[in-house]
Amino acid sequence: MAQYTIKELEHLSGIKAHTIRIWEQRYNVLCPQRTDTNIRYYSDADLKTLLNISLLNEQGYKISKIAKMTPEQLKQTVQQLAEQENTTLSHHINNMVTAMIDMDEERFDKTFSTVTLQLGFQDAMLKVLYPFLHKIGILWQTNNISPAHEHFVSNLVRQKLIVAIDGQVVKRSADALTYLLYLPEGELHEIALLFINYLIRAHHQQVIYLGQNLPFEDLKRTYEQLKPSIICTVLTIVPEREFVQEYIERVASTFPEAQIYFYGYQAQHSFLEFPKNTQRLSCIADFEAVLKKNI
């Protein structure tokens, strides 16, 4: 069973730790337990309850009223809100977190399908899926989800991206640029790269998609054959922190005529220096700006 600190609940629910403590003391809305060393922690059930409370509170329900609800009433009220057309994005995000914790594929699919119908695929990814993945990152970093949970979510999202890409009708402009997308050898986290692929195609540009775990020599051979204008990669777990600068410089010097973009966790370190033909992407919106500039 997962064990959450109050700060982790704050990050995941958006409710300040101080407020959670007050609600807990005054209204008894959560039931924290204690470890053998007397440290307070919260369970999966506490997290789900707080996510529901945060949604109702965001919709104008007073905590005094929420606290009087039975667990079933709380669940029914949240469900009624979910069925309304003005359902908030935070509800969908919280729903995905709960679906992941329970490994409930049907609930996850239903939530994402609803969001896609409301917003379109691209905005569903940007406004719901990416904030959800940020929360998953918090859970991962604090060891509150297992690799199985992460794989469960990643595979569902990957499937949806592949279906969306397959369904695109691409009409490339005559002056379309060519983008080469790849992940370094040992890197398997493909979701961000797949979404970048989707965005490029949506802007009617040419994509060479080489995918996961690409040996550097294969990258060189492909570049020499096709000479793409732009190279983009995502550094999530490789190379390791102490080797990121070296890797960036290697790519930059190997492909001096290309414009190269680095995205992902390992590319965000403040100590990194980026050669003239490279650029760090801090978020997907940065890449969208690049696409619009290059059209």
| DSSP codes, 189-238 | --HHHHHHHHHHHHTT-EEEE--SSB-HHHHHHHHHHH--SEEEEE-SS-
Q: How confident is the prediction for the chain on average, in pLDDT?
A: 89
CB neighbour list of residue 78: distance below 8 Å, 6 or more residues apart: 52, 55, 56, 91
Q: What is the pLDDT of residue 138?
A: 64
CATH of the domain at 256: 3.40.50.280
Q: Does 160 lie in the same domain as 121?
A: yes
Q: Does 56 lie in the same domain as 11?
A: yes
In a domain, 172, yes or no: no
SS3 261: strand
Q: 143-202: per-residue pLDDT in tens? A: 666 778 888 998 999 999 999 999 998 777 778 899 999 999 999 889 999 999 999 999
In a domain, 16, yes or no: yes
Mean pLDDT, range 2-14, rounded to an integer: 81
Q: Which two tokens stand for residue 84?
A: 């309304």
CATH of the domain at 42: 1.10.1660.10
In a domain, 199, yes or no: yes
Q: Does 36 lie in the same domain as 132?
A: no
Q: Which of 141, 167, 193 lies at the terminal end of a domain, its last residue?
A: 167
CB neighbour list of residue 33: distance below 8 Å, 6 or more residues apart: 40, 41, 42, 43
Q: Which domain holds residue 111?
A: 95-167
Q: Does 283 lie in the same domain as 188?
A: yes
Q: Does 8 lie in the same domain as 67?
A: yes
Q: What is the pLDDT of residue 83?
A: 61
Is 0.75 surpassed by the pTM of this model?
yes
CA–CA separation, 213 vs 184, rounded Å? 5
Q: Does 288 lie in the same domain as 204?
A: yes
Q: What is the pLDDT of residue 94?
A: 85
Q: Which residue has the higher pLDDT, 136 or 57?
A: 57
In a domain, 89, yes or no: no
Q: Does 246 lie in the same domain as 155?
A: no
Q: 76-111: per-residue pLDDT in tens? A: 887 777 666 455 788 888 889 889 888 999 999 999
Report the number of distinct structural domains present in the chain: 3
Q: Which of 84, 106, 129 lies at the terminal end of a domain, its last residue?
A: 84
Compute φ and ψ for 107, nearest 5 degrees: -65, -40
Strands of the chain, DSSP E: 33-34, 40-41, 178-182, 206-209, 230-234, 259-263, 278-280
Q: Does 227 lie in the same domain as 287?
A: yes
Q: Does 215 lie in the same domain as 186?
A: yes
Q: Does 16 lie in the same domain as 116?
A: no
Q: Does 190 lie in the same domain as 142?
A: no
Q: What is the pLDDT of residue 141?
A: 57
CA–CA separation, 104 vs 125, rounded Å? 19
Q: 113-128: per-residue pLDDT in tens? A: 989 998 999 999 999 9
Residue 61 clears pLDDT 80, i.e. is over it: yes
Q: Does 251 lie in the same domain as 189?
A: yes
Q: Which of 38, 58, 84 lies at the terminal end of a domain, its last residue?
A: 84
Are 239 and 184 contacting, i.e. CB atoms less than 8 angstroms apart? yes
